[in-house]
Amino acid sequence: MRIASFLLSSAMFSALSMALFAGEAHAQDTAPGGAPPAAVAQTPAPREQPKVEDSDDDYKHFTVGLNPLGVAIGRYSLQGEYLPAKHHAITLNPFFAHAPVTVTVNGQDVDAGSLNGFGGELGYRFYTGSKGSNGFFVGPSFLFASYSQSAPTGTNTSAQASSDSFTSIGGALDIGGQAIIGPGVVVGGGFGLQYTSTSKDINTDNLNLASAIIAGGGVRPRFLLTVAYAF
């Protein structure tokens, strides 16, 4: 009986030991095995999110604005820019001109009518900025205009018959800079040189400043000031 009870106890102890060992072995197999997958956590995927190139949605392909400086000489114009590719802009600047003409005779200003006309500039600009028409720029443009000189009101028919018209063509090269502020407000300025040739020779020595600038030809400096909106 003692042997039987001993064998039974030994068998039960062995079975219990085997069960405990099997449980530990299973725990060891599962515990380390679960750790490696947790260690292989892939975090680089979120780092691809900050793509600066996606900011092309904020790129301004069009700019429409005014040139306030031209008002000083009776030139009223709009300026449009289209950027088909980054840094490269096509510019269009239609304008209307109306300036009184005064002639200095014996130290006195005499009314000589007015100059009226229209024209435009077609050009190209290279911008260093990456938002649209911003940054430093440089570019040439082609100029064309047609004007007519009207005699003073109240003059006789012979004086009115002397009213004349002429055209002006030329080119310009400008450098400057523009900034895009906030959602699309554009402020810029610059300077350049232009050359124009008129279809008729006009003596501008005794003319007032505004009409002399409009009717004159040759090489002259020019100054730019732009207030616009980009979108």
Structural domain tally of the chain? 2
- Taking only the tens place, the pLDDT of each residue in 121-172 is 999 999 999 999 999 999 999 999 999 988 887 665 455 545 689 999 999 9
Residue 22 lies in a domain: yes
Q: What is the CATH number of the domain that holds 75?
A: 2.40.160.20
Residue 47 lies in a domain: no
- Taking only the tens place, the pLDDT of each residue in 177-220 is 999 999 999 999 999 999 999 999 888 888 999 999 999 999 99
Cβ proximity of 94 and 81 under 8 Å = no
* Residue 142 shares a structural domain with residue 71: yes
* Residue 32 shares a structural domain with residue 112: no
pLDDT of residue 9: 46
Residue 167 lies in a domain: yes
- Range(s) of the domain holding residue 16: 1-36
pLDDT of residue 99: 93
Model confidence at 12: pLDDT above 80: no
Beta-carbon contacts of 77 under 8 Å, excluding residues fewer than 6 positions away, are 66, 67, 70, 93, 94, 95, 96
Residue 148 lies in a domain: yes
pLDDT of residue 46: 57
* Residue 176 shares a structural domain with residue 95: yes
Rounded to two decimals, the pTM is 0.70
Residue 49 lies in a domain: no
* Residue 141 shares a structural domain with residue 217: yes
| Residue 85, burial from CB neighbour count under 10 angstroms (0-12, 13-18, 19+) | exposed
Residue 48 lies in a domain: no
* Residue 101 shares a structural domain with residue 20: no
* Residue 177 shares a structural domain with residue 110: yes
